[in-house]
Amino acid sequence: MKPSALAAACGALLVTVALGCGDSATSGGSTAPAEPLDFEASADDFECIQNWERVRNIRLTNKLGFLEEALSLAREPRPGLQYPVGTIVQLFPGEAMVKRGPDFDPDNNNWEYFELAVSAAGTSINVRGRDDVINMFGGQCFGCHVDARDFDFLCEKGRGCVELPVDDATITALQEADPRCK
């Protein structure tokens, strides 16, 4: 390979790697958008929790096409890395966290928390934001997740977050009881 062709190939590889690691990543090796990506979830974005990939106990999807990047990080959590914009994470059908764009809430790595009302008819959003969202156990979502700052605020066992008063079997049963699933 000629030196100029090699330099161009290496430059393209570096751009692809850089794009794949940031919040404004795009899939398929295309270039980054001119504007930073954001994703503002609506009630329709929350569907049967069982339709989403399961990694340990969490269920996740990505509504902007970055599912493989989100799954990779969920499967092999590494301190300092962040989930791509558009990622939705749920442990229980009535709660969620959504990765927003880079200017949404930098102190919280741009996560938005949700309290959801779910029924066979679908989903409605009761509360969304950061400090006002309370989980099903009466705790503030952000207050629990802040202890997992090194893992992009995603709580799992052993990350310093408040331990949930339910075991894995109960989590699975609650996911399987999601009334949106047919």
Over residues 99-128, the pLDDT tens digits come to 999 999 999 999 999 999 999 999 999 999
Mean pLDDT of all residues belonging to the chain: 84
How many angstroms from the chain centroid is the CA of residue 51?
A: 15
Mean per-residue pLDDT, 17-24: 37
Domain locations in the chain? Answer: 43-176
| pTM given for the model | 0.80
Over residues 48-69, the pLDDT tens digits come to 999 999 999 999 999 999 999 9
- Reference 124, options 50, 64, 44; nearest CA is 44
Q: pLDDT confidence of 29, banded at 50, 70, 90?
A: very low
Per-residue pLDDT for 176 more than 50?
yes
- Reference 174, options 77, 54, 87; nearest CA is 54
At 90, which helix (H) or strand (E)?
strand 87-90
At 86, which helix (H) or strand (E)?
none
Burial of 101 (0-12, 13-18, 19+ CB in 10 A): middle
